[in-house]
Structures are given as structure tokens and as C-alpha cells.
Structure 1
Amino acid sequence: MLRAIQTVFSKYATFSGRAARPEFWWWTLFVFLVLIVTRIIDYAVVMPMLGADAIQREDGQPLSMIVLLALLLPSLAVAVRRLHDTGRSGWWLLIGLIPIVGSLVLLWFYIQPGKAGPPSVPG
């Protein structure tokens, strides 16, 4: 797991190349866990320090939003590299903008095994 996370951080904004299934899924789990921890910290520490009730959702989660923005670019990059590994263009990531169906199609692409071929798919 640590090697996959280190690889993604070392390729922070690299959209070329490939990402194997384990690298992609370990990164996804890491982001999920980090966001859970930051949300807990927001509700337990940050929101009370700002004078808001920890239960009020409309106040936002400042720490979670900062972490989410910091992890957005490497998450997009590893997703594009995962699509390259399945033999698809990174532009397929845009299909995720279609509600429900787009996410399901991307999930299907992500779980597919990698294909043999050149280390990078153009486009």
C-alpha cells in the first residue's frame, strides 16, 4: 500500500504512462481514509474552534476541503493512467460527468485487467 501511495505522489501530475489495478485501488482507499479522518477532525476540533456546533453541516469542513483540493490532481492523474493501462484514452474520464451511468462505466473500466502494449496511450 505504501509503495502505491508513494508512486502516486511521485507522479503527482503525470498523466502519461500506466497505473496497475493495485496502485489505483490502494490510492483510492488511501484518499477515502484520509477524507474520513479529516472530516472527523473538522467536526471534533476545527468547527468548535471556529465557534460552530460540530453537528452543523452547512458550516462546511475547511480541513477536508483543503485536503480534497490537494489530492484532486494526483487522483485525476492516477485515474487517467489506469485508463491507459486498460488500453483507453484518458479522455474517457469525462464520461464520469454523466450521472450514475458514467460512474458505473468508469468503475467497469477501472476493474478491467491491464492490457499488454506500449507504456502510454496517446490522447
Structure 2
Amino acid sequence: MSIKELLFSFQGRVGRKVYWTWNLVYYIAIFGFGIGMNVLFPAISHLVLPIFLIAALLPDLAITAKRWHDRGKSNWWLLMNVPLIVGRLMAPMDGEPMVSPSTEQMIAYTISLVCGIWIFVECGLLKGQAGDNSYGPEPK
């Protein structure tokens, strides 16, 4: 599988090693980009970081889709990411801890936590289906 197919195609399968390697690179890139922007361009970092995150979203979803495929599941399982995004958007942006979250926020955080744990276990810990499945050959 070429890099282009790996990062931009929603077809095929990847194993846990590729999934974990991608996540390591992905989060190091986000962390490094965020720090770099805050050091070099603090006045506009709050504008540029969301653009970077949106640009990195497609490859992240493509690799996660392939991991779901390895588990024998369709791209519809990517919808498990929606509560994670909503939960992050509901978090306070000023860096201050939330003293008393609303009921809606607590529900969103709980759903986000459950989805995050589910994705972590399914994609990060469990083996893929042995042999070929309807999404392609078993990754090597």
C-alpha cells in the first residue's frame, strides 16, 4: 500500500502496528505544531491550529477506517468519533478547570469517554480478522 493510499483511501485494511505508528506520529505532529505555532506566531496560533487539525483529520479517518475494516467492520464505525469531537468542543477553551459542568456537558463527556474507550479497545488492542475478509487481504 502506497503512502497516498494509506493516508487518503478508505479502502483496505491495516493492522495494529500501522494504526499505533500513525497515532504516535499524528499526536506528536499536533503537539509539535501547536507548540511551534505558539512560540513563532502566538498572535495567530489560535487561527492556524484548527486549520492544521482539519487537514490532519482526513488521513486520521482513512487509517482508522482501514483499522475498522481489519476488524471486519464498515466505515460507519467512524461515527464513533463524533462524540469525541463534540466532547472536545464542549471543553472550556480558556484553560481553566470546569467547576460545575452542566447535565448536558456531563452526558456528552460520558458518551465521549465510552466511545473513546470502545475505539481504543477495538482498533488499538483487538486483533483483526484472520485471513481475507470483504475489505481485503489480511495485513502483513
Aligned-pair identity (%)? 27
Instruction: Between the two structures, name the one with larger relative contact order (CA 8 Å, sep ≥ 6).
Output: 2
Q: Can you list the C-alpha shifts for 1:8-37, whole angstroms capped at 9, x where unaligned?
A: 544332111101111111000001001111
What per-residue deviation string (whole Å, max 9, x for no partner) do you get for residues 29-76 of structure 1? 0010011111111111111xx4x7xxxxxx7251x2232122110100
Map of 2:60 onto structure 1: 75
Structure 2 spans left out of the alignment, 5+ residues: 84-110
Task: Report what 1:28 is aligned to.
Answer: 23
8 Å CA contact 1:17, 1:119 repeated in 2: no
Structure 1 runs (4+) deviating above 6 angstroms are none
Paired residues, what number? Answer: 106
The alignment's TM-score, normalised by the length of structure 2, stands at 0.66
Match for 1:79: what amino acid? T
Q: Tell me the C-alpha RMSD between the 2 structures.
A: 2.3
C-alpha distance in 2, partners of 1:119/1:81?
12
Contact 2:72 2:133 in 1 (8 A): no
Structure 1: 5+ residue runs without aligned partners? 1-5, 53-58
Instruction: Give the alignment's TM-score, normalised by structure 1.
Output: 0.74
> C-alpha separation between the residues in 1 aligned to 2:134 and 2:21?
21
- Other-structure match for 1:3: none
> 1:7, CA displacement in angstroms?
4.8
Q: State which of 91, 102, 111 in structure 1 corresponds to 2:115.
A: 102
1:106 Cα deviation from its structure 2 partner:
1.0
**5 Å matches for 1:26-105?**
26-47=21-42, 50=43, 60-62=46-48, 64-96=49-81, 97=83, 98-105=111-118
What is the SS of the residue equivalent to 2:7? coil
Kindly tell me: are residues 112 and 8 of structure 1, through their superposed partners in 2, closer, same or farther at Cα, counting changes over 3 Å? Answer: farther
1:11–1:79 distance in 2 versus 1, CA, 3 Å: same
